[in-house]
Structures are given as C-alpha cells and as structure tokens.
Amino acid sequence: MNGKHITIESVSPFSEEATSLMEELSICLRDITGNEGRNSFDPNDVCKEKAMFVIARDENGSAIGCGAFRPMDEKTAEVKRMYAKEKGLGVGNLILSYLESQASQMGYESFRLETRVINKNAVSFYQRNGYEVIPNYGHYKDRGESICFEKKLSI
C-alpha cells in the first residue's frame, strides 16, 4: 500500500462523500462504457438489513474509494458501486475484501456482480480476486455488453 494507512467504514450512501465518490464513478463509467451505471443502483437498496455501503479513507481521512452490496436472496448478495480514485494502490482490493468479509458474517454464501465487457480493468480486477464468469442474470440476461461474475464466500 505504499506505506499508506487505509481505513474502511460503513456510511450512508446519501452522505456528501458517498455522493461525490459515486458521481466520480459515474463519470469514469461513462467515459469507459458510454453508460454511467446509475440506472442499476438505488442507494436505498444498501440501507436495508443485510446490505452495506462503505468508504475507504487514506491516512488523512480523505475519501478515496467506495463499494456496496445488496441482497439478491438469502444466500447471495450483489456487489455495487465499486470505485477507487487512484488505481494500482490496492484500495479496490481492500474494499472488496472488506465487503466479502462483512457479507460472509451476515450469512451470505456468494457475491455476484455485473460489469461491462468493454471495462477491461474491472473484468481483470474481479478475475484476479477470484470471481468466475457466470451466465448473465436478472436484467443483464440478454445484454451482450454485460459480463456477470460470482464468487463463493468463505464461511
């Protein structure tokens, strides 16, 4: 981590920092994929029981990344709004690992997610973190631009 001390905390997705990070993510996604991804995320979904929105902070307390998960069913949660301001520092890995740990403690057995095929960095990130390609699910089912992943969580 280049000697940096990173903390991760659960926050409201409606907080100013969370809103700002998600706005940055939307701009990045639009630049990469042509779609901001806003239509596939409702912040209220991560305010429910067995859901979570987190922010990563650097040693100065500045928000440097975010991530979330929401329930799909009793045993499966969906990862949403993963974002790290600076790439290559391991912030995304820390956020994802934290979310996986929290979800496992809540009783989830697997994580699922969708990203766009054209978003090569995201596809590579999830594969490096042990996610396997699965058939597209839900409203991504017949969308060729989408790629879906799943990872079994350790319990």
Q: Which pairs with CB-CB distance under 8 Å and at least 24 residues apart come from 136-143?
A: 137/112, 139/40, 140/114
Q: How many domains does the chain have?
A: 1
The predicted structure's pLDDT at residue 105: 96
Residue ranges making up the domain that contains 106: 7-152
Q: What is the pLDDT of residues 81-140, one digit of tens each?
A: 999 998 878 999 999 999 999 999 999 999 999 999 999 999 999 999 999 999 999 989
Give the residue ranges of DSSP H helices in the chain. 16-33, 91-105, 120-128
What's 119's domain CATH number?
A: 3.40.630.30
Q: What is the pLDDT of residues 138-151, one digit of tens each?
A: 989 999 999 999 99
1 within domain boundaries: no
Rounded to whole angstroms, the Cα distance separating 27 from 121 reads: 16
The predicted structure's pLDDT at residue 1: 35
